[in-house]
Amino acid sequence: MKYIIGIGGVTNGGKTTLTNRIIKALPNCCVIHQDDFFKPQDQIEVGEDGFKQWDVLDSLDMEAMVSTVRAWMENPVKFARSHGVNVTPGSKEPASKDTHILVIEGFLLYNYKPLVELFDIRYYLAVPYEECKRRRSTRNYTVPDPPGLFDGHVWPMYLKHRKEMEDDGVDVVYLDGLKSRDELYNEVFEDIQNKLLNCL
């Protein structure tokens, strides 16, 4: 069985932190990080607001990202081996027999049609404005945020994409990013275990 899990939501919601823990706990589990598909800086458009438009689908090579997901779907064992993931032989335990899991994490997972339909389950981490802004101010991205980027671009784009996703009726499981790392991990891990057992 193949199972694709999305961990999406707002920047600094805790997606990467949660993902890194979840993938260690699941068998035959590969991961794809959307951040690896940002286009080079010189290809990022500058908006009328003067900011580089990082937080839009056009800043990402979404075709390459979907191709990578499809490569996993076609041959998860080959994908796992070529990405250094240990593949355990199908055990007699029903929950792990021939189960292959892919976790995809990123801030714009559910606004791109060819990708959104590939998920078996979609988690969505959210945190309120103040906390998001506070966490963001402590981050060091490969390209540092210029002054005013959060209020001028990042947060408005988050609200826009979230509204589009909701208007499109995308089915997501909301997670409260204010909960502790442990609480989030336990909640999501338990939910995944139950979903996997129901699929078998």
Ligand X SMILES: O=C(O)c1ccc[n+]([C@@H]2O[C@H](COP(=O)([O-])O)[C@@H](O)[C@H]2O)c1
**β-strand partners of 124:** 8, 174
Binding status of residue 138 toward ligand X by CB under 6 A:
no
Q: How do strand 121-126 and strand 173-176 relate by DSSP bridges?
A: parallel
Nearest approach, Cβ of residue 9 and ligand X (Å): 8
Q: Which window, 12-20, 51-59, 64-72, 152-160, contacts ligand ADP (CB under 6 A)?
A: 12-20
**β-strand partners of 125:** 9, 175
Q: Which of 53, 41, 47, 55 is nearest to 11 (CA)?
A: 55
Amino acid letter, residue 76: P
Binders in 82-121 for Mg ion, by CB under 5 A: none
Nearest approach, Cβ of residue 158 and Mg ion (Å): 13
**Is 168 an annotated catalytic residue?**
no
Q: What length does the chain have?
A: 200
Enter the DSSP assignment of 186.
H
What is the rounded distance in angstroms from the CA atom of residue 29 to the CA atom of residue 179?
25
Residue 14-43 contact track with Mg ion, rule CB under 5 A, x = bound: --x---------------------------
Binding status of residue 143 toward ligand X by CB under 6 A:
yes
Active site residues: 35
Binding positions for ligand X, rule: CB under 6 A: 11-12, 15-16, 35, 38, 54-55, 107, 141-143, 154
